[in-house]
Structure 1
Amino acid sequence: MKINVEINPAKNGQFSETFLCQEINGAQKKVQLNIAHFHSLYDFTKETSSTGFDFFLIAAIVYGTDDLLARKLYSYNGWTREIEIEFPVNNIDYWEPAIPQLEETLNFLTGDTWSIAFRQLEVKVLYLPKKKRWKSKIPEYNYSHIEFVSLFSGGLDSLIGVINMLNKIDNDNIGLLVSHFDPAYNGPKKDQNLILNEFYKNFVNRYKHIRATIGISQTYTNGDEITRDTNQRSRSILFIGIATYLLNKVPSSNTILIPENGTISLNHPLTKSRTSSLSTRTTHPYFFRKLQESLAIANLNVSLINPFNLDTKGKMVVECDNTVILQKTYPLSVSCGKRGHKTHWENRNAKQCGICMPCIYRRAALHKRGWDTDTYGNDLLSIRSIKDAKPDIRALFDYLGTSISLKDIKRNLLVNGSIEMSDLDAYAKLVHTSRVEILNWIRDKGNDQLKEILKIR
């Protein structure tokens, strides 16, 4: 599927109207890629011409395209899509040499085949600040006092990562927390706000928070409805694109912190059928490495760091630097990967499904502190028969109930994504430890029938 990107001159107080255009059954259709409330970013950067801005725009277009092209409509094998796109950029001479690396990065991230090119961005005025704004509404930033830049999603992992950094920050310095909000998936914004309300009480004057609002419209411009893909695999590159754009103004660091437990980053497959492109790779070490290579070729010196790449979620919870604040805020965070799919939830008032792998890792991790008390849409611990279990849970039971060696884990990790051989032993031990965390949680809290299914004594 070929996607054409149309960018029109900016209007007062708005980012340039941006459209993703495609041909469907001989007819041209386009959908708006909304980059709303851009002033929150522009107030910090004061520019739209840098290579960092280019990458922000590239990442936003990738995210919008990924959401627009539903796999059930546009894949040739039920999963993989062929996507052809030309990105408009200011600094084309920097980006053209990065095409092979960036294609490989996107292919790995989304499991598709991307064919990309670049063209000169002809629109010169991409954002027009409002002519009348109260000065008190325009934030001021002391860039030299920004000690770190971290992604802040509203999940438990990013919560712990930010708590650790804010807990040890120097009095005069601050952290910059970077978030994203898509109106079509509005849960994370509420999570972020609830946590920030607590941070405001406990970390006074220690951070600034900037949130970008980006997502495609609900319909094409002709009014036809859009079938979204909803997997959001490319959300991580959008997060990184936002942070890279802001990082241009930070003189003290070239690092973006991306807090994520190492187990979910590696995403060791539960079954052989879930290897390769079917396995999520949003924070996989290989994705980070290839993206850094792409950015370096484009003359962007950005270091992507996951401080928990060798930690299980349980270790993160137990070793958090400020247990008091974590205990106040962890119930406000959401880890669920299927929060919007409540059709089969027994408790639809819950915030999290309880049976996706992020939920399972969360519950097992919180159990290590005695904090596994949240309400979930479904309770894995109450399953009494394998017949009652949905396919995802059966896959989990197969994984937990089958003996697996470190050698097996290493082989699976290599099949699922390119791992540096020097890291392979440590990553295999990490997967083994996370598996033990789940089994210990079930051993301590599961019913007898569940323990019998998994042969737990």
Structure 2
Amino acid sequence: MTRLLLTLSEAAADAALEEGGFDEVFLWTRNGRTTFTGGVDPHLTGLGVVNPRNVDLVRIALGVLAADRSVHREAGGSSWNARDFDLTVEVTDPGTWAQHAEQLSRTVGFLSGDSWAFSFTQAPSAEATGLPIEEQHHDRTVLLSGGADSAAGALLSAIELGENHSQSLVSHYSSTAISPVQQGIVSAITELVPGIRQVHHQFRLHRGSKRLDGSSFRSETSTRTRSLLFLALGLAVAERAESTLWIAENGFASLNPPLGPDRRGSLSTHTTHPRFLRELTALMQSMGGHGLIENPFETLTKGEMFRRVSDAVGIDAASTYLSSTNSCSHTDGRYSGAPAGSSCGVCFGCLVRRAAFTAAGIPDATTYLSEESGGRYSAFVRQKTIVEPLRDFVDRGIRPRDVMAMSLPEGYAAQDAFALSQRGVDELRGLL
């Protein structure tokens, strides 16, 4: 078991390092020594007076993501292991969180495929309280990652709300290449939906590369817990906006049927799985925090989402808008000389995206590294491709036992998941 600590106090961090009781110590401050990058205040005072439970959830989520990134898994494929974490986090009300620790452990464990134990200690009070910012109400809060699904959701939300209504868009990024993509989507929505009022919150927050003693953190790239931090930040904004939080993701990707027998457990991501979203909602509501989360596209494939965009704004506008997004699972193409923010074209995210354009009859103007005629990026593309496993998956098709392994939440009918997955496979078959 790996023992980790997230503290907001430099003194507590130094004491923990001196005592040696933790394998990793993470310190989150806004202006002082810190192991995190980004200007987000650990008390979220920039948003105003946020429900303390939602502030705590952001701290917990950041600690989970930092831990996830700092402990290596074993080899890939079926050798991936479930790790054991014991994470201590400073929160506003340790007693209340301790009462819900098992519920939190189950939720996070389902998300990452690991075993989690949580302990809580008292966080120091903020040096400055949040400003009593008025008029923050918005009709809806929408997560905007920069990917095609979130962009489709943000646009369709704006169209549904209409003129003289407002929405709050929430983005999180670690790669600076994604920030302008997110900003471009917001500008495009403003042009496509005149009269909609929008405010865009962009959060840059991630674990840095160096420990407090100057040594380098280990870096595990298979992290499955980014969505917890994204949702926690979104819920904090939604709490101030007094609105439901939309997370727009096609239902096929959310169910994430395994590509093969070695792609279960830790290799099967649950970042937007309906069970995870429902459990997080239940946890926050039982804690007295803001936890209203909705995925209005839970029953749709990506192609079906794209068609809704096309029906709303026309094929040409949909092509331009959706092609400006980034759905690639890999952001390290720049190390192979590719432009920042490039799309490989052969990862799961890119292949489902390409299939969705085809299924929806929308021209795909995205530039994919796999289609570069000169072969400059062929080595990078070969490392990232899952075309053959995905082709095998499509040839095999969805089986009832695949649905039985999806851990569907109560009220989600197996036959609905089966039908949705079949439609998703049909879209992929149209590409492959």
TM alignment of 1:17-416, pairs within 5 A: 30-31=25-26, 32-34=34-36, 36-38=38-40, 42-47=45-50, 50-72=52-74, 78-121=80-123, 123-125=124-126, 142-144=135-137, 146-182=138-174, 185-203=175-193, 206-251=197-242, 253=243, 255-320=244-309, 321-323=312-314, 325-341=317-333, 351-367=342-358, 368-379=360-371, 392-402=386-396, 404=397, 408=399, 410-416=400-406
Distance 1:342 1:218 in 2: 18
- The answer to whether the Cα contact below 8 Å between 2:53 and 2:289 also exists between their aligned partners in 1 is yes
Distance 1:30 1:426 in 2: 44
Deviations 1:370-428 (A, max 9, x none): 31232212249xxxxxxx897732211211223x35xx1x3213224344464211111
- The answer to whether the Cα contact below 8 Å between 2:49 and 2:132 also exists between their aligned partners in 1 is no
Distance 1:103 1:389 in 2: 34
TM-score (norm 2): 0.84
Deviations 1:118-163 (A, max 9, x none): 2222x1125578xxxxxxxx9975234x100111100000000000
Aligned twin of 2:431: 441
Deviations 1:165-220 (A, max 9, x none): 111224332101111122xx333212112222323444455111112221111112
* Superposed displacement of residue 45, structure 1: 2.2
- The answer to whether the Cα contact below 8 Å between 1:71 and 1:79 also exists between their aligned partners in 2 is yes
Distance 1:72 1:22 in 2: 27
Aligned twin of 2:31: none
Q: 1:140 to 1:94 in 2, by over 3 A?
A: closer
Distance 2:216 2:171 in 1: 28
Higher-Rg structure is 1
- The answer to whether the Cα contact below 8 Å between 1:97 and 1:298 also exists between their aligned partners in 2 is no
Deviations 1:203-259 (A, max 9, x none): 4551111122211111122222222112331111101111222222233x3x21100
Distance 1:29 1:106 in 2: 19
Aligned twin of 2:30: none
- The answer to whether the Cα contact below 8 Å between 2:146 and 2:325 also exists between their aligned partners in 1 is yes
* Superposed displacement of residue 67, structure 1: 1.8
Work out the percentage of aligned pairs sharing the same amino acid.
23
